[in-house]
Amino acid sequence: MNKTTIQIGADTLDRLKMMRTHQRQSYDELLNTLIDEAEEETLSETEIDEIKTSLEEIRQGKVYSIEQVAKELGVKL
């Protein structure tokens, strides 16, 4: 593996140290884990559009009460 150095502040280093899952975890492993998690949390354009549509439906009052949903699903509250 090719290695490089990066400059980070002392506070950033302290935060990274606190995020490691074990003492011998490399910063490369930690940073890749954080990057992977950030990528997984990114919403797709489709998901964003669906959220916008849902919010607009809520604003328009196109919602059901919990009682209506429970009745339709046959669930007793």
Where in the chain are the domains?
10-40
- pLDDT (0 to 100) of residue 42: 85
Does the pTM surpass 0.75? The reply is no
71 pLDDT above the threshold of 90 = yes
Query: pLDDT digits over 28-42, tens only?
Result: 999 999 999 988 888
Of 51, 50, 19, nearest in space to 35 by CA: 19
Dist. CA 15–CA 38, nearest whole Å:
17
